């Protein structure tokens, strides 16, 4: 059986951005495969009585997070610009991931994060997501239609339910079997666990 890490991410999640941008290279070095699993934090936050990101609900935490992100992105050589709004609605982008073949999911995911956190583009917009697909040499219309299908909507809901069942409470999270690792700074630990 191949050694695998499951990467659970939400497109609105700040810390998922640097994780997504470094994951594949880190996993290759560790000899571990990755399964990319977009999900929605909204239902998880809602169950805790939150109707917004905790980084907005608690301003001191939000101020710290943006400064922390600046340091992390600077160290990784990533551009960081505050999005057009925070958090952005990543529902359509998450559905598109599930409508794509597995091999295209990492590249599409990274481009959506760059559009959100480096390009200040509205990632809820179909036109923005279609342009990303075109840049990846994917015909956008069939993918967008599939992403809007009942099948894909149900798949994303099931994936979010699975995240909840695994005890996931934030993004990014990494799972290796039943073992849960939360946060960009736990990526290497998750890969090491999978490698062992």
Over residues 90-135, the pLDDT tens digits come to 999 999 999 999 999 999 999 999 999 999 999 999 999 999 999 9
- Residue 54 pLDDT > 80, yes or no? no
pLDDT class of 161 with cuts at 50, 70, 90: very high
**What mean pLDDT value characterizes the chain?**
94
Q: Following CA atoms 125, 117, 6, 98 in sequence, which dihedral angle do they give, to the nearest 10 degrees?
A: 10
Buried b (16+ CB within 10 A) or exposed e, 90-111: bbbbbbbbbbbeeebbbebbbb
Task: Give the tokens for residue 66.
Answer: 């943006």
In this structure, how many other beta carbons lie within 10 angstroms of the beta carbon of residue 21?
Answer: 20
Contacts (Cβ under 8 Å, ≥6 apart) of 127? none
Q: In terms of DSSP bridges, do strands 179-182 and 4-9 run parallel, antiparallel, or are they unpaired?
A: unpaired
Contacts (Cβ under 8 Å, ≥6 apart) of 31? 3, 195
This prediction's pTM: 0.94
In this structure, how many other beta carbons lie within 10 angstroms of the beta carbon of residue 150?
Answer: 7
Strand partners, 34: 5
Q: Which residue has the tokens 């997501």?
A: 129
Give pLDDT, residue 1.
Answer: 40
CA 47/CA 158 separation, integer angstroms: 17
Contact between 4 and 32 under an 8 Å Cβ cutoff? The reply is: yes
* 134-159 per-position pLDDT tens digit: 999 999 999 999 999 999 999 999 99
Task: Give the tokens for residue 99.
Answer: 């409508």
E strand segments, the chain: 4-9, 33-38, 173-176, 179-182
Q: Which residue has the tokens 């101020």?
A: 63
Give pLDDT, residue 84.
Answer: 87
Contact between 16 and 10 under an 8 Å Cβ cutoff? The reply is: yes
- Residue 68 pLDDT > 70, yes or no? yes
47 compared with 80, residue with greater pLDDT:
80
In this structure, how many other beta carbons lie within 10 angstroms of the beta carbon of residue 39?
Answer: 25
Contact between 69 and 80 under an 8 Å Cβ cutoff? The reply is: yes
45 compared with 101, residue with greater pLDDT:
101
């Amino acid at each position: 059986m191949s050694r695998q890490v499951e990467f659970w991410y939400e497109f609105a999640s700040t810390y998922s951005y640097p994780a997504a941008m470094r994951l594949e290279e880190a996993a290759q070095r560790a000899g571990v495969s990755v399964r990319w699993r977009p999900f929605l934090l909204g239902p998880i936050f809602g169950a805790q009585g939150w109707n917004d990101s905790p980084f907005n609900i608690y301003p001191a935490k939000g101020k710290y997070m943006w400064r922390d992100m600046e340091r992390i992105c600077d160290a990784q050589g990533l551009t960081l610009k505050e999005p057009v709004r925070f958090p952005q609605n990543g529902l359509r982008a998450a559905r598109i991931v599930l409508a794509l073949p597995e091999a295209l999911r990492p590249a599409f995911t990274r481009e959506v994060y760059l559009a959100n956190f480096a390009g200040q583009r509205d990632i809820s917009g179909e036109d923005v997501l279609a342009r990303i697909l075109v840049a990846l040499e994917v015909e956008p219309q069939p993918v967008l239609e599939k992403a809007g299908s009942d099948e894909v909507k149900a798949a994303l809901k099931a994936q979010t339910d699975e995240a909840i069942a695994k005890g996931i409470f934030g993004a990014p999270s990494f799972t290796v079997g039943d073992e849960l690792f939360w946060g960009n700074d736990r990526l290497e630990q998750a890969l090491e666990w999978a490698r062992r």
